[in-house]
Amino acid sequence: TTIKMLTGLLQPDAVMATVLGEDCLRAAHRLRHRVGYVPERPRFYEWMRVHEVGWFTSGFHHPGFLGRYQQLVKRFQLDPKAKLKHLSKGQYAKVALALALAPDPEVLILDEPTSGLDLLVRREFLSSLIELAGEGRTVLISSHQIAEVERVASHVAFVSHGKLLLAATAEELRQRVV
């Protein structure tokens, strides 16, 4: 629910949700060029090839998207000619991440990004998130995998049934638990 509000897909009931100082609902169109989003189960046109989904998606974005997407495809070692329906779950996740990063977003929102990935792909994916944060991006991860989040997060928030239970830096949380 929180992610749907932050991406402008759901109107908040009682409060206003903001990202980068803008109302997520009212500024949803502008924010789509500043916020990258990878859903828990991304879905693309399965008959497309890796390069085709980038070309198709570039029509909805500012100039430069396609070139950045192509660079990310190369960086993630994806075959541009591969059909999406033939990709492994890890490769499919990399396509989703490349599409989310191609607009060069200031904020990246990931919903259960490592769900179903094997151990090696999971490690590689988490390492790339650390690199992205190191580049100055804000990376928001929604995950039930506490051990994974602990390795990559600087701040942690626990939410249950729409209520914020705890928000702290990862270090403050470690000190509370020890």
Q: How many Å apart are CA 15 and CA 25, to the nearest integer?
A: 12
Q: What is the pLDDT of residue 178?
A: 66
Q: What is the pLDDT of residue 1?
A: 82
Query: Could you give the 3-state DSSP secondary structure of residue 18?
Result: strand
Q: Which residues of the chain have pLDDT under 50?
A: none
Q: What is the pLDDT of residue 100?
A: 92
Q: How many Å apart are CA 28 and CA 24, to the nearest integer?
A: 5
Q: What is the largest CA-CA distance in the chain?
A: 51
Q: How many Å apart are CA 90 and CA 155, to the nearest integer?
A: 26
CA distances from 169 to 58, 61, 92, 154, 176 (A): 36, 34, 32, 6, 11
